[in-house]
Amino acid sequence: MTLQKNNTSNRILGVGNALVDVMIALETDDILHHFGLPRGSMTLVDSRLSADIFLATRPWHRQMTTGGSAANTIHTLASLGADCGYAGKISHDELGNVFETEFREKRINTHLEYSQTGTGRVMAMVSTDSERTMATYLGAAAELLPHDFTPELMLPYGFLYVEGYLVQDHHLIETILKTGHETGLIVAIDLSSYNIVEQNRDFLQTLISRYVDIVFANEEEAHAYTGYAPEEAVAAIARKCKLAIVKTGKSGSLVQLRNQLLRIDPVPTASLDTTGAGDSYSAGFLYGLTKGLPLQLCGEIASLVSSKAVEIMGAKIPEPSWPELLYKVDQIINK
């Protein structure tokens, strides 16, 4: 099973909210209840509430690192060896400098716009069972403009990967997806968060049916989008696009192209933090596609990469882990 595209490039362009993640290991979920944050969700907050959460969770802060869903995926793709780029908006401030420097060090081709508003941040709170709840202050990231996304930007790439969080600006995300589609790229979207899917279901259905080739979703997002359990959901999504992937956590994942369903086994692991697991899965899958691999092997690479991501706190696999991981990826590729 393969996907066809009008563009011969295997380069991948990611588009999303350029953010800095503040990782927090919670002892209890009391802080979530205090701030009215639905467990396991992503909630947009203003600068004041973000600052209040930052102060209230200070005793449990673990680390700060560049983030944003599509940014995490592109960062992992670069570590896998893919040729990729990233478009987002930051500020000329300390956090913006951290974001830009890290991406350039990974040799990611950055298409960054700048704003006077501060660089956005995510308070990523991890419960004792590894579930993560995110309070996001978008800052400069919210100021991406449709006219920033032209055919000239898209032309060097063969794949476009867009995070679903951008759906809250309907004109922006439609412009990005439509431009990618009309320029001949394979267009992929990750649904990103069940509550955002619930709020934008009808609009997402229209976008996906018109412009999207690949949809990534987890179990909750797939249910919010279709109303179905995973197996029925992946079939329903595949009827709207070319390829549907539903991640089912410890059960693995489901991949459907037209009427053919594949079941991808999970890679057993000791889960510490699920932050970025879905982003890593998307990176592994897209990497397989750039190599022209069968979808079964794309799924196996995705499962392997995401299993490594949940073993650590935060969304990025540490550099010392990559040599062994790349060796295992090569084993899958050379089956």
pLDDT tens digit sequence for 170-187: 999 999 999 999 999 999
The token duo for 149 is 């996304």
**Average pLDDT score over residue span 88-101:** 91
SS3 318: coil
Distance CA 217, CA 287 (A): 17
Could you identify the residue written with the tokens 């898209």? 154
Angle between helices 201-211 and 170-182 (to 10 degrees): 10
Report the phi/psi class of residue 192: left, alpha or beta, with left for phi > 0 and alpha for psi in -120 to 50.
left
pLDDT digits (tens, 9 = 90+) for 36-56: 999 988 888 998 999 899 889
The token duo for 235 is 């079939």
Q: Which two tokens stand for residue 264?
A: 């991808």
Sign of torsion over alpha carbons 320, 84, 69, 161: negative
Structure tokens at 38: 């639905």
pLDDT at 273: 63
Dihedral, 299, 304, 306, 312 alpha carbons, nearest 10: 180
- Which two tokens mark 209? 């049916």
71-119+142-333, which class in CATH? alpha beta
The DSSP-derived string for 66-114 is EE-HHHHHHHHHHHHT--EEEEEEEESSHHHHHHHHHHHHTT-EEEEEE
Query: Residue 268 and residue 265: Cα distance in Å, rounded?
Result: 9
Instruction: Work out the average pLDDT over 73-84.
Output: 97
Mean pLDDT lowest for which of 46-55, 235-244, 269-278? 269-278
- Residue 7's pLDDT is 65
Q: In angstroms, how far is the first alpha carbon of the chain from the final one?
A: 16
Q: Which pLDDT value is given to residue 1?
A: 45
Model pLDDT for residues 108-161, shown as the tens digit of each residue: 999 999 999 989 998 989 899 888 898 989 999 999 999 999 999 999 999 999
